[in-house]
Structure 1
Amino acid sequence: LNLPKEFHQLPVEDAFSPDVFDFMLSDTLPLGAEYFQLRTLVKAGNLQQLSNYVVQQAQQHKLRLRFFLVLITYYEFYNHNQNAPIIKQLVDQANVKQALTLTEPETRVYHFFAAGPPAPGGNVPDVFCSNVRQGGGGDLSHSNFMVNVLAVTMGCHPEKTHLYPSTFLLNTLTKKKMPGSTAARMFYDCGYKYTPQAGLESSGIAQDIMNNHMRYRCLLNSLIWVPVFWHSIIFPQ
């Protein structure tokens, strides 16, 4: 994926959430102090202090801030069935947009999470709806994983990973070669087929991909289709 080094840290096991990045667990870990400082400012609710901090820090850590803000909005508000009006107000400020070089579609990402989870029955899949988050008993592993992928996407240079164009520029990828699962690396096939009788089995396409290791290929497939899912949320039309 050609990700920056700070994104190489895998999520670690935790008593409350096995899905979070390690720096989200302690301010003594690499990136932890920066993450916790931003989180504290967001939760304090002082828009002026928060925007001043973001604009100042963006001079050196723009992509990191974009990454952190997705995680904070989702894990600290959205996952607790809360909205985050301060995030919407923050990213709607002209000086913050400029400092973080936010495009209009990128701003929609923050608007989506800042609005809080919707009630079920609309266009948003159930794993992102409010009922799953009531009482703290719902399985959020799928939505957590998908948000982590989106956060990394927002924290990467648009031209250095396939995640960004797959999320924000999908209509430009027709007939383009992408990091897909077929031997030709085309953007259309995971190399597996699924039937209720046999379950997941090889389709006979590109047997040499990742030594035909099912878990690796399924993970690769997720990194192809999760951005496409987010495209459908960001561009619902």
Structure 2
Amino acid sequence: MYTAKGQLDRDALFHQHVPLVRRIAHHMIAKLPPNVELDDLIQVGMIGLNDALSRYEVAQGVQFETFASQRIRGAMLDELREGDWMSRSSRKSQKDIEHALHRVEQRLGRSPIESEIAAELGMSLEDYQALLSKVRGTQLVYLEDFHHDDEDEGFLDRHVADEGADPMAVLRDQRLRASLVEAIKALPEREQYIMGMYYEHDMNLKEIAAVLGVTESRVCQLHSQAIARLRTKMRGH
């Protein structure tokens, strides 16, 4: 978009890409706990969009939407990192689920069902499902997985950086993806469907719930449980 003088119309570009900010925010919020506000992500994303406009140069040879997406997502991730978006209690609950799942799996030699995991945790099935909803364990990787304490300020930044120039990073990513594919194949059938719809087809929890004929909260529970299974299997990769 250009003005009559042939200059980039940054104001028009801003308004045109407001929906991009909302789209990125909606996709990201589905992967975060309930205490993260959508409006806060959108507001921060708008700042990222404005930053992209001030830094973008046509001569860079990159489409503006691609450039802006990186800036918008980066701004949101910075805000999440600074805001300690996942509480310590939620992280502890997630770890407790993973450890219980691992113990039962080792004992039974198969993937445990929900009631077996609940029993291992010493709680009712209803309380266990409520815990799954609470933690919304949609992250395959947490900050503490890569650091001895609870802080790794560079971790989120690395997720928005261009690692394509690092052959070792590409190789590690390929190995991780291959291992992840195998781990997903070992999930219970319904959890496989959910992971496929969420990550491959970019569907949100509400859309998945409509396909499966269950509530959105139930999809959230199963999704959290699938992530716990995957994190248990992926340790060491």
TM-score interval (norm. to shorter): under 0.3
- Max Rg structure: 2
Structure with the higher fraction of residues in helix conformation: 2
Instruction: Tell me the TM-score normalized by structure 2.
Output: 0.27
Instruction: Tell me the TM-score normalized by structure 1.
Output: 0.27
